[in-house]
Chains A and B, each alone.
Chain A
Amino acid sequence: MTDNANTNNVVDEYQKTKNKEELKGHLISFAMMIVATLIAFGIVASGVMGKIYAIPVLVLLAVVQVAFQFYYFMHLKEKGNSMTALLIYGGIWAAALTVTGLGAITWW
């Protein structure tokens, strides 16, 4: 690093720990996403579950993966993103209402 690093030692140290933590978070979530994917493949490939159980489990795993994606890789967990989060949840809410409404009324 340059001379700047010495004068800003405290800040640097803080940044380092923070980066380290973030990397840890990324790695853990990445590993968990791989595990989730493996489980999903496993369920379908091995055929341990019937269709009725397999589909909800797969959907659940997908939701968990999307959450990881949003929070760890797209930085939704960081401060100052509350409006983004609100809009995403609003959109999910509107879409969910549409799908359940249409599904329940038209085809059920």
Chain B
Amino acid sequence: MSVTATQKRGLGSAIWDYLTTVDHKKIAHLYLAGGGLFFILGGIEALLIRIQLMKPENDFVSAGLYNEIITMHGTTMIFLAAMPLLLGLMNAAMPLQIGARDVAFPFLNSLGFWLFMLGGILLNCSWFMGGAPDAGWTAYAPLSTTSPGHGVDFYILGLQIAGAGTLMGGINFLVTIINMRAPGMTYMRMPLFTWTTFITSILILFAFPALTIGLFLLMFERLFGAAFFDVSLGGNAIIWQHLFWIFGHPEVYILILPCFGVFSDVFSTFSRKRLFGYTAMVFSTIVIAFLGFMVWAHHMFTVGLGPVANTIFSVATMAIAVPTGVKIFNWLATLWGGRITVNSAMLWSLAFIPSFTIGGMTGVMVATVAADYQYHDTYFVIAHFHYVIVGGTVFGIFAGLHYWWPKMFGRILNEALGKTAFWLFFIGFHLTFFIQHFLGLMGMPRRYWVFLEDQGLDTGNLISSIGAFFMAAGVIIFFINIIYTAAKGEKVSGDPYDGRTLEWSIASPPPHYNFKQLPLVRGLDPLWIEKMEGNGKMTPAEPLGDIHMPNNSFIPFMISFGLFIAGFGFIYHNDNMIGTIAMFGGMAIALLSMLTRSVKDDLGYHISKEELEKEAE
């Protein structure tokens, strides 16, 4: 396949191209599209929740449907929206930031995406096949083991398949960052987003196996008659909670750390300063990841673990406030005295600081065991984690999208629309969740489908629901912005922000081989160093030569599709013959695809030196 052959094509070949692509930039587009789709679904579910709770004793949805909606809202937002959107940003920016031509395992990258996508679709098929999971996004046993119907089975299989994809993504990024940095790009010269991608990938590698095991136990309990969590048969229901939170707590750091990286890059670019306290930023990220594995039981203070266990986990949890505080002050110091440009990416980042700090503060409050008995399972907790996840992760995703959009698509997102979307979302967000702190303190329990009249909860819930519509309006305007930009957006050069890191040293959108010649990195913020020394562009570290590229492959889709079919099979194999056939058939498709991959040599292709020279014209 030559470079010119990919230039002109119809819609069909474009779809085929995306189905088979192993290019990290196109996989980033796929992740963003898939994550965006599920973000809309999760958002609709959120709106349904807020409509139901708009007035006392509302009957907009039934109690059973409400349980399904809250379960799917949480599951979708965490696993199918936030994580893939972050993986999309990582795929789009990280290889460029370290001066690599692709990730270490392009095939695996594609497989990771298709597993996530088909796992997510499998989970959402439950809506049309007898009801969605209804045991909460945490799926606590015995509620999840005794939930009737197939809802929870869809949760298990869907997350198992999507989780395998995420695990692959994490391993891929780790190997990429360890092995594929450009000459001179030492660890302590990596941009903060690359660092946080690295640490996040370590967290994925160590945390996801706990989820995998938990889901396997639950699967065997529900579908094959095992009794790991069944107390009457000698099991222990608490094991699920431990396994889930051993995964679940690192998971929230998986969600927030990449965003810390986005903010660090955005702040330093738009303050025209190098990041204040770079080393402290790197090590505070490592410390957060390290402590993140020692705090899972703070989700279980009211389970009855005893005062000693509760105290240990409480102290460990509060300790995390220290490295996080270091970060907050470093960002403020980066802004201090900088020549600040306030655009949309910067607005999301600036708004993140106070919003996330509020979430961190309530975090220390709920980490206090004695007080947590009051907060537990109330709207106070809902308010807390939405302040950190929306105020941290969602703001970070929007900041990252605005920041890297010109790099990904060659057009910059419209600023007026971007700022309108920001203000609507920002106001809506605080309107929705700030009041929930007080609803929680007044004793409104979470997960209940109705509340009673005249208990002091009416006004607060109405305000909260109004805020949700503001957030929805903000998101809609953001999507309008995307369409507008695709149609009429302003085209920009490779370096629209006078950037500091390697991704801004190449064209926008980058050629599919990224760097014609690998750049020579001479320090932190490599492009900025060259600009300050009057070179203006990176010095190549190698002569122009042939570039080895991987071939596209349809096999990742086939493997994922096989597991998708097998997922349905596992769910229905106790019910009818078709289920059993699907189980074996799906596994056969997946395993045969893997076999094909193993026996068929695929050595990729070379872009010749002559072609590269011709392209420069």
Contacts and interface: CB of A to CB of B under 8 A. Distances in A.
B178 interface: yes
Contacts of A91: 205-206
B203 to A, nearest CB: 9
A106 B304 CA distance: 11
A93 interface: yes
B206 A106 contact: no
A93 B174 CA distance: 18
Given A91-B205, A105-B309, A97 B294 contact: yes
Interface string A14-47: 0000000000000000000000000000000000
A101 to B, nearest CB: 7
B309 A104 contact: yes
A83 B305 contact: no
A97 B178 contact: no
Interface string A69-108: 0000000000000010001001101100110011011100
A105 B206 contact: no
B210 interface: yes
**Residue of B293, B296, B306 most packed against chain A (CB within 10 A):** B293
B238 interface: yes
Contacts of A90: 202, 206
B309 A98 contact: no
B324 interface: no
A106 B237 CA distance: 10
Interface residues of B, number: 19
Interface string B215-240: 00000000000000000000010110
Given A87-B174, A93-B293, A97-B294, A102 B242 contact: yes
A21 B238 CA distance: 53
A91 B250 CA distance: 13
A106 B236 contact: yes
B239 A101 contact: no
B205 A101 contact: no
B242 A101 contact: yes
Contacts of A106: 236, 238-239, 242
A83 B286 CA distance: 14
Nearest to A106: B238
B246 interface: yes
Contact of A105 (B205, B293, B305): B305
Nearest to A83: B178
A97 B293 contact: yes
A105 to B, nearest CB: 5
A106 B238 CA distance: 7
B140 to A, nearest CB: 15
A90 B296 CA distance: 17
Contacts of B294: 97
A75 B174 CA distance: 20
Contacts of B202: 87, 90
Contacts of A101: 242, 246, 296-297
A94 B293 contact: yes
A104 B236 CA distance: 14
Contacts of B205: 87, 91
A97 B297 CA distance: 12
Interface string B236-255: 10110010001000000000
A70 B153 CA distance: 40
B613 to A, nearest CB: 35
A91 to B, nearest CB: 6
Given A97-B293, A102-B242, A105-B305, 19 more contacts: A87-B205, A90-B202, A90-B206, A91-B205, A91-B206, A93-B293, A94-B206, A94-B207, A94-B293, A101-B246, A101-B297, A104-B309, A105-B242, A105-B297, A105-B309, A106-B236, A106-B238, A106-B239, A106-B242
Query: Which 7 A-B residue pairings sit nearest by Cβ, starting from the closest?
Result: A94-B206, A94-B293, A105-B305, A83-B178, A105-B309, A102-B242, A98-B246
9 contacts: A83-B178, A87-B174, A87-B202, A90-B202, A102-B242, A105-B297, A105-B305, A105-B306, A106-B238
